[in-house]
Structure 1
Amino acid sequence: MLKKISSDSWIDNIEVNNKNFLGRKTVDYSMLNYGTIIPIRYYNKFLENLSSKLERGNRVKIDIVLNGDKYPGSIDMPDVKKRKTAPIRINYTDKLLKEILQKEFQSSYEYILDYEKKNDKKPNTIPDEYKEYIDFYKGDELDTFIMNLLPINSQEPFEKDNKDIYCDDEEIENEDIEVNNEFWNVTNIKEEIKYIHNYISRKGFNYSKELVENLYLSIKTKPFVILSGISGTGKSKIVQLFSEAIGANYDNGRFKLIPVKPDWSDATDLLGYRNIEGKFTPGIITLAAYEAMKNPENPYFICLDEMNLARVEYYFSDILSLMETKRLDGNGNIVTEKLISKEQFGRDTASFDKYGDVYIPQNLYIIGTVNMDETTFPFSKKVLDRANTIEFNKVDLNYNFEQVFNEEIEGRIYHNDFLKANYLKIAECKDEKEIAIKVIDKLISINNILEIYNQHFGFRVRDEIVFYMIYAIKNNIMDFDKALDYCIVQKILSKINGSNSDVLEILVKIFNLLNNSTFNCENYLDDVSIREMTKKSKESNYKLSSEKLMYMIRRFVKDGFTSFWQ
């Protein structure tokens, strides 16, 4: 029989005839959901199998092998101030692994669910009749750990003999283990973006390198981007090709093009609904998030094509709100609140078990394309406040036939770290505070103008512009003025519109601020001033912003109304 000599859930004095055996863990709530704490007496066994030294506040990525399949995980040492000896944890974030464990350890899992339902808390211990176990082994490579499951129905034959208990040595020794090294090694972000641009160009599509740089920075700043412009400029195509270039495509299911339907009036198509039989049917984004959670190292893309054929606020507001709940979990991953409440599943417990804990993971990126014409709906400030809006209105009709016949280049497989945000809060930018302070000073000057007319922006816009600027400058993708130019267009000017004379004053004052000029307007601008401003905009350090301001100013003077959108 098993001999328990410690007060935790690990079983000591187990004889297993395998030199790679590390220890036996009793299955509990934490192991069925995210991992477990490693007892101090087991520290050396686990740490000597890591490729780098583990220190307080840090973690080492590992591969967890189960039945020959690998799942991403980590071993970390949380910086718990109250503890003299820092705890060490083995963690996993893969949803598929979680599902396998819950299915295999049905005895423990059902006991935990039943106990929690009756007592409104999780059990501290599990009775002997429900106990199940996991054996941990070192893999053949560092940072690799093998799990061997011992569900209750596999234990009876081994309890008669304690030697080699619960272990098939031959199976463990012959297990085929390979370290996942398929991801492209990124050493220079700017060079990688250049490669992505080359990949897209070799496909016969003529997008500027600056556009690809801006798209990358916008996605990294926030995983929700809007591409706007006239029809036929390749908005959805660049999303597809950008995704392909970094390893996400139709074939592997990591790129999905979703045509928005005009009759979408709520979130059911995206999140899910209960059918007439009470069975929950998951929506498009729920399914994509579910798959992305199972493969957290790979980026996933959803392109919502012609996003404003329906009112975005009607069908997308729930998702926009969830995006603002982003936070870091205990493993340093970016998570949100759950997509679907328990009540929405009704009595469909099977669907709740599968989709009930789905959130918007850090490797899911949503990009919407929009056309602004008489068939579409305008955007509210709530939507624009939460996105970077990239315009596709400049069209170069020239075509390089020679370039098309050049040999195509293969896409690369990038780890999600290539796109994942490095910052969630501005306090996390302390190491780059010089850039942040310089950006904030510029934003204060702009906001002082907007505040006079009650058009000012808040902390969200400030923070996201700061993040964009840090990514651009640190990686030598853009200089300060050029990066700020994009941010002003995409995060500030896109929300200015109207027929009030205040709007014209705002536009002229921002133009003056950006160009160190002194143009004046009292409800009107004469042709001479407009020509001078137009000439100055072409020479400006903030050319994109100045040209957009001039478009909006000319439209106001001509029509008595103006808008960012063309």
Structure 2
Amino acid sequence: MDKYSERWKKWFSKGQSPSTDDVGNQPDASAVAVNHDENVALEAEHEANLMGEESSDELKMPQSYSGENESPRATLVAAGVSATDLSPKPGSTKRYEHPELKGMSDAELLQVLRQSWGCSGNKLEVWGQLTVAGFADKQFVKLSEVRSVRDNAFLSYPCEVAHPLKDRGIYIPSTYGWDLVESGHKFIRCELELSPHNHREKHGNPLAVTVKPGSAIPLKKIPVSISEQLISTEDATLISELVYEHYLGLKKRELGELESKLKAEIETNVETAKRALIEVLSAQKEAQAEMAKARNDHVQVEQENARLKEAISQLQYRQTEEAEKLVLLQATHEKAEKKMSQYLERLKHYIDDKATILKQLEFIDAEEFELLFGDRRDSKRDEGRLSFGQDLGGDYAVGVSYIQAYLLERDILYPRHVLENFFALLRTHDLIVLAGDSGSGKTNLVQSVAAAIGGVAKIIPVKPNWTSSEDLLGYYNPLEKKYLATPFLEALIEANKNPDVPYLICLDEMNLARVEYYFADFLSKLEQRNGAPEVELFSDNESAHVLSELRQVMEIIRGAKDKYQKEDVVTFVKLLQDEEINAELRRAFGFSDKDSLIKYHSDIRRMLAGVLNTPSSLRFPPNVRIIGAINIDETTHYLSPKILDRAHVMKFKSPLLTDWQSIIDQVTSYGFGDVSKPLQVDLDDLGQRVPYPKFDQDHPFCRRFVELNREYFHPMGVEFGLRAIRQGLNYLNIFSEFNDDVDLAINNFVLHKVLPKLTFDGNKEAAGVTKLDLLFGLAANLNNALELDESLDDEFSVKKALPLIANKAKANDGIVNYWA
């Protein structure tokens, strides 16, 4: 009898329960295992009921178990082991040699194991503990501490093996083993079968076994103290009624809880099923309604199809009629066009004759004659240019890359984001203001981009004494009966004569005079977005007077030539040299000997030139963009809120601070070959003057700037209205064709429209905080909201510019000034 059996016998003989330490230290062999019902008492009761041997005072446990749930203790009893003598009785102790085993069949090998391990019947059954073995990346489940179900003894293979069964355990097929572990089982009783033949050969063990899938019976421990309540007899094992009632009560409570849980689940499932049924019935009704509607719709569709067929038939009939009418109209049009062509040809000859007479009489010169009747199309413009639409596919991103490379070829370096921003602003048709110190490249940007896109740059210097729109556009002199044009107006007229050429007109040193004094009226005209605005220069009556006087002069000259039949006198000089005609002209004009026909001729010529060269009104050319260049110093003026509200301000820094090498590397990465030709950018490519997008409160851009206006702009006193937001929407749409970085577009817009308005006393309070604190809050808000390239310079990054402005104000007694 081993030490564990001795301890059991001692407990039985003394009638005492094992201590807590004894229970804790009791090995698996001393724990009476039960099946998965977790109660050996219920198992005994069930067996007794089947055998009809139950009494009111004691319950006899069956001597042998034939079912699958027999426990190791029951197996001991069945084998004739008394409760006081638990020493295991080993099976066959014969040892086998490998050659002897290799000559046996699988059935014979199983029989060897059954005899060696004392298994009865045809089953090779054992029990043991589930163990997870292996490494973290490759684990498996095995049966360790393998014991006999007959006498609870540790088992070993009856032959020489490299790894004893006690160390190696028995492998459990992967899926089955993990199922047992995940089910929370620790001990099982199971049936074994031989491992595959190749596995046995690989490990040098002809008797190697594995757990047979589906054969495991989970086992549970009960306290060792219960052993005191067990009394073994020759034909049964008796258990205390107190223990039996205790575990029966536990099982009944467990069954009651399970019953309540199942009832609750059933009720829940019933309610769920009812709701599902209601939903199904509702869905069925809806489906029936939809089917009825569909049938009705089908009928209506059939009716509509019939109506459409009839309408198509009528349209086909009308199409045939209209086609016949069109043929007649085309024939009539061709006749009318031919007749009109004849009329126009005759009119052209008539006008040419009259214009030739004006030219011969030197009332107009050759240039004015060519202006009136010559072909003004610039046939050479397309020569030597690269088509933006055809050669670059109309891709604005590629266009900016080419412009940057074209300028670099001429030693002109601008960062790509500057060219993107400027080109996008050109397409908005808004006023662009370039701000920066002298020599920062403002006017050079205008001239360079104009050359790169095949356009013309006109730089108009602004004088400090400009005080009205007449300084910008000129005025009509009634004494001289002519319009005195300015360089700005002449540039507009020139652009109007060359409608296919982009014109960038730059008002240099724009703020030497107060911009709102001389530019406000013209700027109001530029606000018109539905078509090109029209600028009135002088009254049409003035032109009518000049032309009427010219007509009278021509009739007098014609009359004098007819009177003396001198058709060969065609020039004004010959008219003066002819004494008869000279005298007739003086008489007709009412001139005395002191009056000069030559001076009168010059006056007529000057008046006619004014009418021909300067129209009474000028429609703003769609090929023109207006740009202003400003400096901020003691000799200049700040831009008024009206100007800032309508303009986009781009601020420049000294080119000496530019990272030129990064620009060169960037252009090199484009991979352009020949960049000697400028682009040919058509008017459609340069953008059309269209209304700004409508304000949409659901648009993310609109929501963001409404919130910024409420929280920061308005409390700081920065004017920011719907026009600015609509301008921003327009800019975002256009900029997306150059760059899909929305945060960069918003960054540019804030730089254009918000920062130039930051001029206020930061010490004043608004909404309980100082305006300077609001400015710091705005900087933090935009810093968190925008993701920008960290390589952007301070002037071009709102995340860097705003903190600089705020910190400068903090160091300057709270005075905020973007322009300082």
Residue in 1 that maps onto 2:727: 464
Residue in 2 that maps onto 1:418: 685
Residue in 1 that maps onto 2:635: 375
Residue in 2 that maps onto 1:68: none
> Which of 275, 279, 283 is equivalent to 2:486?
283
* Alignment root-mean-square deviation, CA: 4.1
1:497 is aligned with what amino acid? T
Residue in 2 that maps onto 1:190: 397
- Superposed CA offset, 1:47-74 (max 9, x none): 99xxxxxxxxxxxxxxxxxxxxxxxxxx
- Distance of 2:699 and 2:404 partners within structure 1: 32
Residue in 2 that maps onto 1:512: 780
Residue in 1 that maps onto 2:461: 259
Alignment of 1:175-254 (within 5 A): 184-186=387-389, 187=393, 188-248=395-455, 254=456
> Which of 377, 382, 391 is equivalent to 2:651?
391
- Distance of 1:308 and 1:510 partners within structure 2: 29
Runs of 4+ more than 4 Å apart: 39-48, 151-155, 176-183, 343-354, 397-404, 536-543
Residue in 2 that maps onto 1:317: 520
Shift of 1:504: 1.5
Q: 1:368 to 1:177 in 2, by over 3 A?
A: closer
Q: 1:394 to 1:554 in 2, by over 3 A?
A: farther
Residue in 2 that maps onto 1:336: 533
Q: TM-score, normalised by structure 2?
A: 0.42
Residue in 1 that maps onto 2:618: 358
Is 345-354 or 310-319 further displaced after alignment?
A: 345-354
Residue in 2 that maps onto 1:306: 509
Q: 1:237 to 1:153 in 2, by over 3 A?
A: closer
Shift of 1:345: 5.9
- SS in structure 2 of the partner of residue 327 of structure 1: coil
Quick check: 1:553 aligned with 2:755?
no
- Distance of 1:269 and 1:537 partners within structure 2: 44
Residue in 1 that maps onto 2:750: 488
Q: 1:539 to 1:230 in 2, by over 3 A?
A: closer
Q: 1:479 to 1:537 in 2, by over 3 A?
A: closer
Radius of gyration: which is bigger? Answer: 2
Residue in 2 that maps onto 1:292: 495
Mapped contact 1:274–1:344 kept (Cα < 8 A):
no
- Distance of 1:257 and 1:192 partners within structure 2: 24
- SS in structure 2 of the partner of residue 372 of structure 1: coil
Q: 1:265 to 1:476 in 2, by over 3 A?
A: closer
Shift of 1:336: 0.5
2:432 is aligned with what amino acid? V
Q: 1:415 to 1:402 in 2, by over 3 A?
A: closer
Q: 1:273 to 1:558 in 2, by over 3 A?
A: same
Shift of 1:135: 1.4
Structure with a larger share of its residues in helix = 2
Shift of 1:292: 2.1
- Distance of 2:440 and 2:420 partners within structure 1: 18
2:754 is aligned with what amino acid? I
2:498 is aligned with what amino acid? N
Mapped contact 2:406–2:678 kept (Cα < 8 A):
yes
Mapped contact 1:199–1:408 kept (Cα < 8 A):
yes
> Which of 677, 687, 703 is equivalent to 1:441?
703
- SS in structure 1 of the partner of residue 699 of structure 2: helix
Uncovered stretches (5+) of structure 2, i.e. residues with no partner: 1-324, 353-376, 548-607, 668-672, 765-770
- Distance of 1:461 and 1:202 partners within structure 2: 37
Mapped contact 1:247–1:414 kept (Cα < 8 A):
yes
Q: Report % sequence identity.
A: 27
Quick check: 1:135 aligned with 2:304?
no
Matched pairs, number: 381
- Distance of 2:727 and 2:793 partners within structure 1: 21
Uncovered stretches (5+) of structure 1, i.e. residues with no partner: 1-38, 49-89, 91-132, 138-146, 156-175, 249-253, 329-334, 518-535
Q: 1:327 to 1:40 in 2, by over 3 A?
A: farther
- Distance of 1:264 and 1:492 partners within structure 2: 28
Shift of 1:506: 3.6
Residue in 2 that maps onto 1:32: none
Quick check: 1:455 aligned with 2:718?
yes
Mapped contact 1:325–1:337 kept (Cα < 8 A):
no
- Distance of 1:325 and 1:402 partners within structure 2: 41
Q: 1:306 to 1:46 in 2, by over 3 A?
A: farther
Q: 1:550 to 1:343 in 2, by over 3 A?
A: farther
- Distance of 2:644 and 2:329 partners within structure 1: 50
Mapped contact 1:306–1:368 kept (Cα < 8 A):
yes
1:564 is aligned with what amino acid? Y
Residue in 2 that maps onto 1:272: 474
Q: 1:47 to 1:180 in 2, by over 3 A?
A: farther
Q: 1:180 to 1:306 in 2, by over 3 A?
A: closer
- Distance of 1:390 and 1:541 partners within structure 2: 13
Q: 1:384 to 1:339 in 2, by over 3 A?
A: farther
- Distance of 1:385 and 1:216 partners within structure 2: 20
Shift of 1:180: 9.2
- SS in structure 2 of the partner of residue 374 of structure 1: coil
- Distance of 2:397 and 2:326 partners within structure 1: 44
- Superposed CA offset, 1:323-374 (max 9, x none): 012313xxxxxx1032425289696675467422302222111111111111
- Distance of 1:152 and 1:426 partners within structure 2: 49
Alignment of 1:76-95 (within 5 A): none
Mapped contact 1:448–1:456 kept (Cα < 8 A):
no
- Distance of 1:209 and 1:45 partners within structure 2: 57
2:474 is aligned with what amino acid? G
Q: 1:181 to 1:279 in 2, by over 3 A?
A: closer
